[in-house]
């Protein structure tokens, strides 16, 4: 497959990666906020999410994304959706923990 035909596949793949990276940053900010507010359990959960997101990103097979015949877009989307959902859970848990303490 030539570079022009592969470009949409690569752009889609990169957009899913950016989405996962942004969600990981949300978890990082939640962890920092939890530490500042004295919520160690939430900070720990956010830290685990950050490490999980890094592992998920590092284990995403690159060959399948760049070869149209062998690519599996669902695995990348499911991985990204998992990171987004977990990041949202951490943010909600932080909000609830702060409201309970108030």
Q: Which pLDDT belongs to residue 85?
A: 87
pTM recorded for the entire structure: 0.72
Q: What is the pLDDT along the chain (102 residues), one digit of tens a residue?
A: 555 555 566 677 777 778 888 888 888 888 899 899 888 888 888 888 788 877 776 676 654 555 556 666 677 788 888 888 888 888 888 888 888 886
Distance of CA 66 to the CA centre of its chain: 21
> Total domain count for the chain?
1
Structural domain span for residue 71 = 3-101
- What's the confidence (pLDDT) of residue 24? 82
């Amino acid at each position: 497959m030539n570079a022009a035909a592969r470009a949409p596949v690569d752009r889609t793949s990169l957009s899913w990666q950016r989405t996962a990276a942004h969600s990981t940053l949300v978890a990082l900010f939640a962890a920092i906020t939890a530490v500042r507010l004295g919520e160690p359990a939430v900070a720990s959960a956010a830290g685990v999410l950050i490490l999980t997101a890094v592992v998920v990103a590092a284990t995403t097979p690159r060959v399948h994304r760049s070869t149209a015949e062998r690519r599996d877009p669902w695995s990348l989307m499911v991985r990204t959706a998992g990171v987004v959902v977990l990041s949202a859970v951490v943010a909600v848990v932080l909000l609830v923990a702060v409201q309970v303490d108030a």
